Amino acid sequence: MTAQEYQQMVHSRTPHSPLAKDCLMAFLFGGGISCFGQVLRVLYERTGLAEADAKLAVSVTLIALTAVLTATGAFAKIARVAGAGTAVPITGFANSVVSPAVEFNAEGRVLGTAAKMFSLAGPVIVYGCGAAALYGLILFLTGAA
Amino acid sequence: MAERIGNSTVRLLSRPSVLAAASAVGKMEHEGPLASSFEIFCNDEFWGETTFEKAEVAMQKAALAAAIDGAGVTADAVEAVFAGDLLNQCTATSFAMRDLGLPLAGLYGACSTFALSLGLAALAVESGGFHCTMGSASSHFCTAERQYRQPLEYGGQRSQAAQRTATAAGAAVIGCSAQYRPHVDCFAIGRVRDLGIKDASNMGAAMAPAAAQTIEYFLRDTGTKPGDYGMILTGDLGSTGSELLLEVLRTEAGLDLSAVHADCGCLLFDAARQDVHSGGSGAGCSAAVVCSHILKRLQNGELPNVLFVGTGALLSPTTTLQGETVPGIAHAVLLTAG
């Protein structure tokens, strides 16, 4: 049997992810988190925070909640159902920082927790900052900024 | 003296026996269909230790000690232990032996390790230079996840073809005594086979061609057919890999294994009830299933013989990141009740 023939066999025999269910769950959980964020923003604004500060406070709250849920192991259980619904909002980014920080605590606070903390989030920061810089450069060159 | 038959197989003429065996498993494995077969279990994933790595050491030590105890020998009587695990540099095994003081031949065969260790332990006894040896292997879900995949608390979804690394260890004591059974009658060391699978989450697919090759060669060498075996047991292809194994053997060799085939990864967990996707995996999976469930069935006469084919995916996180394909391997051990 050639590698090509086998890979065709594997393709036809390997079960695929339930796309419709995954999309529905991502929509419901992602939408739910976004709605919760909106509710928080309204509440923060009612306490007298300016719009920009209220937005920041929403992000901080969601990050803090994710950190607690990650540390207790609840986040991974929710994410198993929610998929992209918890990964795409800021909750996903917070989880990707907290989970290696908790996991590698056994290897010490410096070379474990601190060094591994950005092992998953590092690429997001690197390419996120890179893309922002590129976008800024384009705006600068085109005179839009 | 062992006799070589065909291209790949060795027949052990002195018929070394499994004097005793024991297995130790974690909580989820103990909630599976084979719960009553396991000698030792622990609901605490740390096994009372402070790290998952220490937990795996404790689990492997528990299985080894119980097997030595079951054989009615002292640790000093064990002349060699052939053992391995999935961790970098096989530390679960070497740290367990540091504490137990047993002579160690460390092995790495990924999930095929137990078949390799059982075969080599029997071969050592067959050589006449050893009277009492052991085969052992372990894996721990938490140590494997953090080494091969993501942190445990990372929130992600797993592929449908993915298998769950078993928290399990198995150990068997091998010696030459006609009154004990089953006997280890044949052993075949497999060849590495790679049909270009790159998806590290579909290890069943990566290992199935190697399993098919080892089974085909073994049947040809011994002049036997699938119906001559009470069970042809792979460990661990999972449900996806098992389907592929049957199809590859049908296509390449015209062999139909469906009536006698079982897989340790499918036996250990109930996929309908437990969230394990394609089934169990890990060096400890086949070790625990064979050392408990299968040996008991051989000993009580339910199975006349079992062709145990341990399968391993020989990848590392580095080779996966570098875009390499996943080579597979499979070793065969024939266990006979009578």
The pair phi, psi for residue B136, each rounded to 5°, is: -155, 150
CA atoms within 13 A on the CB side of B298: 31
B247 touches A: beta carbon within 8 Å: yes
Same domain, B156 and B195: no
The closest CB to that of A14, out of B153, B161, B252, belongs to B161
**Predicted complex ipTM:** 0.90
B312 residue type, one letter: G
Please tell me if residue B88 touches chain A, with a CB cutoff of 8 Å: no
Q: CA-CA distance, A103 to B151, in Å (whole number)?
A: 6
Tokens of B315: 């990848």
Given B122, B152, B175, the domain boundary residue is B175
pLDDT band at B185 (very low <50, low <70, confident <90, very high): very high
Place of tokens 């057919």: B225
Computed over every residue of chain B, the mean pLDDT equals: 96
Selected residue of B28, B87, B157 to mutate for chain A interface (largest A Cβ count, 10 A)? B157
* pLDDT at residue A144 in the model: 73
Residues B252 and B144 in one domain: no
A chain contacts of residue B252, beta-carbon cutoff 8 Å: 1
B126 shares its domain with B196 = no
Of A10, A82, A102, the CB nearest to B205: A10
Q: Where is the domain boundary, B119, B144, B175?
A: B175
- Helix/strand/coil (H/E/C) assignment for every residue in B308-322: EEEEEECCCHHHHHC
Place of tokens 């006469």: B301
Question: Residue A103's closest chain B neighbor by CA?
Answer: B151
Report percent pLDDT > 70 for chain B. Answer: 100
Alpha helices in chain B, H assignment, sequence order: 27-30, 52-71, 91-100, 113-127, 141-148, 203-222, 238-253, 264-268, 283-289, 295-299, 317-321
* d(CA A79, nearest CA chain B) in Å: 5
**Mean pLDDT over the full length of chain A:** 94
Q: Do B154 and A3 touch (CB under 8 A)?
A: no
**Residue A89 touches partner B, C-beta closer than 8 Å:** no
- In this structure, of B2-11, B69-78, B175-184, the range with the lowest mean pLDDT score is B175-184
Strand, coil or helix: B243: helix
Q: Do residues B17 and B76 both lie within one domain? A: yes
Decide if B151 and A92 are in contact by the 8 Å CB cutoff.
no
Q: CA distances (Å), A27 to each of A70, A89, B158, B207, in order?
A: 21, 11, 19, 36
Question: Among B60, B33, B38, B31, which Cα is nearest to B47's?
Answer: B60
pLDDT value of position A109 = 94
**B4 HSE (CA, 13 A, CB side):** 4
Question: A49-78 burial by CB neighbour count: b if 16+ within 10 A, else e?
Answer: beeeebbebbbebbbebbbebbeeeebbee
Please tell me whether residues B7 and B73 are part of one structural domain. yes
- The whole-number pLDDT of residue B256 equals 97
**B271/chain A closest Cα distance in angstroms:** 14
Which residue, of B124, B146, B175, is where some domain finishes?
Answer: B175
pLDDT at residue A88 in the model:
86
- Across the range B28-36, mean pLDDT stands at 97
Distance (Å) from the C-alpha of residue B233 to the closest C-alpha of chain A? 21
Kindly write down the DSSP assignment for every residue of B71-111, as one continuous string: HT--GGG--EEEEE-SSGGGHHHHHHHHHHT--EEE---GG
Q: What confidence tens digit (pLDDT) does each residue in B87-105 have?
A: 999 999 999 999 999 999 9
Count Cβ neighbours within 10 Å for each residue of B267-302 and write b for 16 or more, e otherwise.
Answer: bbbebeebebbbbbbbbbbbbbbbbbbbbebbeeee
Query: Are residue B193 and residue B168 in the same domain, yes or no?
Result: no
* CATH code, B128: 3.40.47.40
Shared domain for B19 and B155, answered yes or no, is: yes
- For A25, the enclosing helix (H) or strand (E) is helix A19-46
Residue B160's Cβ-count burial label (10 Å; 0-12, 13-18, 19+) is: middle
Instruction: Read off the pLDDT of each residue in B315-327 and give the average, rounded to a whole number.
Output: 96
- Domain housing B21: 3-175
Q: Based on the domain organization, do B121 and B145 belong to the same domain?
A: yes
pLDDT at A145: 63
Count of domains observed in chain B: 2
Is the domain of B14 the same as that of B160?
A: yes
Selecting from B51, B156, B209 the residue whose C-beta is nearest the C-beta of A106 gives: B51
Question: Is residue B226 a contact partner of residue B260, using CB atoms and an 8 Å limit?
Answer: yes
Question: Do B196 and A75 count as a contact with CB atoms less than 8 A apart?
Answer: no
Q: Could you tell me if B192 and B329 are in contact, meaning their C-beta atoms sit under 8 angstroms apart?
A: yes
| pLDDT at residue B103, as a whole number | 97
Please list every residue in chain A whose beta carbon sits closer than 8 Å to the beta carbon of residue B206: none
B237 and B316 part of one domain: yes
Q: Does A94 touch chain B (CB under 8 A)?
A: no
Would you tell me which residues 166-185 of chain B have a C-beta closer than 8 angstroms to some C-beta of chain A? Answer: none
The pLDDT value given to residue B179: 87
Whether B51 contacts chain A with CB within 8 A: yes
How far, in Å, CA of A8 to CA of A25, rounded?
30
* Residues contacting residue B216 through CB under 8 Å, at least 6 positions apart: B249, B252, B253, B255
Contact B196 A80 (CB under 8 A): no
Does the beta carbon of A45 lie under 8 angstroms from any beta carbon of chain B? no
Residue B234 and residue B331 in one domain: yes
Query: Which segments in chain A show pLDDT lower than 50?
Result: none
Q: Which helix (H) or strand (E) holds A10?
A: helix A3-13
Whether B69 has its CB under 8 Å from any CB of chain A: the answer is: no
User: Which tens digits make up the pLDDT trace of B122-176?
Assistant: 999 999 999 999 999 999 999 999 898 888 888 888 888 999 999 999 999 999 9
Alpha carbons A118 and A95: distance in angstroms, whole number = 11
Distance CA B338, CA B335 (A): 9
- Whether chain B has a CB inside 8 Å of the CB on A70: the answer is yes
Residues of A in contact with B154 (CB under 8 A): 76, 95-96, 99-100, 120
Longest CA–CA separation in chain B, Å = 55
User: Based on the domain organization, do B125 and B91 belong to the same domain?
Assistant: yes
H or E segment and range at residue A116: helix A115-116
pLDDT range class, residue B234, cuts 50, 70, 90 = very high
